[in-house]
Amino acid sequence: MGIGLIIIGDEILSGKRIDQHLPKVIEILKERGLSLDWAEYVGDDRVRITNLLKRSFASGDIVFSTGGIGATPDDHTRQCAAAALGLPIVLHPEAKKLIQERITEMHVGSEHALDLSSPDNLHRLKMGEFPEGADIIPNPFNKIPGFAIQQHYFVPGFPVMAWPMIAWVLDTHYAHLFHQQASDEKAVLVFEVAESLLTPMMEELESRYPLIKVFSLPSVGTDTMRRHIELGVKGDPTQVQLAFADMLQGLDQFQSEYQKLGS
């Protein structure tokens, strides 16, 4: 079972807004000893969102989805989730109550009497229409809930709402997964070396130590840093120590210039 993230919105793909969700969700997961396995971006297109959700529901993964759960014409996530599961979309009774509480709170101080059955207030209830059988995700910012179904967790696109809601889901439903697998990482900067020269050594390390992964992040260099590769190993702490020592020996044999990085 992996953990995935879906980020929905034309504003992200057009560049009108810079996505903040991906780095923050990685941070939230890392604090709990978890990691993100995949992420996908998709615009406000019903067919694409529905097809993406069909795949993710079939994956068995834990999936967080941000954006598109409002009640404006460009919000399609609620309907797409229902379509992907072949379920009707219905007004969730607890969501209705919370939305009406929010409407009432926002009406305080108004000169006019509150009419919960007015067209605009009835339209607001659409934000509580979810696939049949869904549960709500509490929203500490303004009470308008997200929804959860089949290990998928749908939250608003606003970071101030989405991030505490994602943290709540993890702490409420997945605390038993926190910090289950010890992990370590060690790396060096290797200067002025072709990546192809290091590849056989990297393959040999992964073959010898099956509980680690070797990574290489090449850089063409900057005005203040020469061309280099960040080369490292991550995974099981014991095997990381052994593999890293072997890696340094290999670099010494190549007479490579390198600089150790902090763990």
Mean pLDDT, to the nearest integer, of 106-111? Answer: 85
Q: Where are the domains of the chain?
A: 3-177, 184-260
Q: Which of 2, 4, 3, 7 is nearest to 156 (CA)?
A: 7
- Compute the distance between CA of residue 62 and CA of residue 67 in angstroms, rounded to an integer: 17
233: pLDDT confidence band, cut at 50, 70 and 90?
very high
- Tell which phi-psi region holds residue 117, choosing left (phi > 0), alpha (psi between -120 and 50) or beta: alpha
Please tell me the CATH code under which domain 184-260 is placed: 3.30.70.2860
Domain 3-177 and domain 184-260, same fold? Reply is no
Q: What is the DSSP string of 103-169?
A: HHHHHTT-SSPP-TTSHHHHHHGGGGEEETT-EEE--TTTS--EEEETTEEEE-S-HHHHHHHHHHH
Handedness of CA 15, 21, 24, 26 (dihedral sign): negative
Give 146-167 pLDDT, tens digit per residue. 999 999 999 999 999 999 999 9
- Tell which phi-psi region holds residue 9, choosing left (phi > 0), alpha (psi between -120 and 50) or beta: left
108: pLDDT confidence band, cut at 50, 70 and 90?
confident
H-helix or E-strand spanning residue 15: none
Options 3.40.50.1370, 3.40.980.10, 3.40.50.720, 3.40.50.2000; CATH of 3-177: 3.40.980.10
HSE-CB for 64 with a 13 A CA cutoff: 28
Give 15-57 pLDDT, tens digit per residue. 999 999 999 999 999 999 999 999 999 999 999 999 999 999 9
Per-residue burial over 135-172, b if 16 or more Cβ lie within 10 Å, else e, is: ebbbbeeebbbbbbbbbbbbbbbeeebbbbbbbbbbee
Q: Which two tokens stand for residue 175?
A: 């605390």
pLDDT value at position 110? 85
Kindly tell me if the per-residue pLDDT of 5 is higher than 70.
Answer: yes
Query: From the centroid of its chain, how far is CA 231?
Result: 25
Kindly tell me if the per-residue pLDDT of 263 is higher than 70.
Answer: no
Average pLDDT, the chain: 95
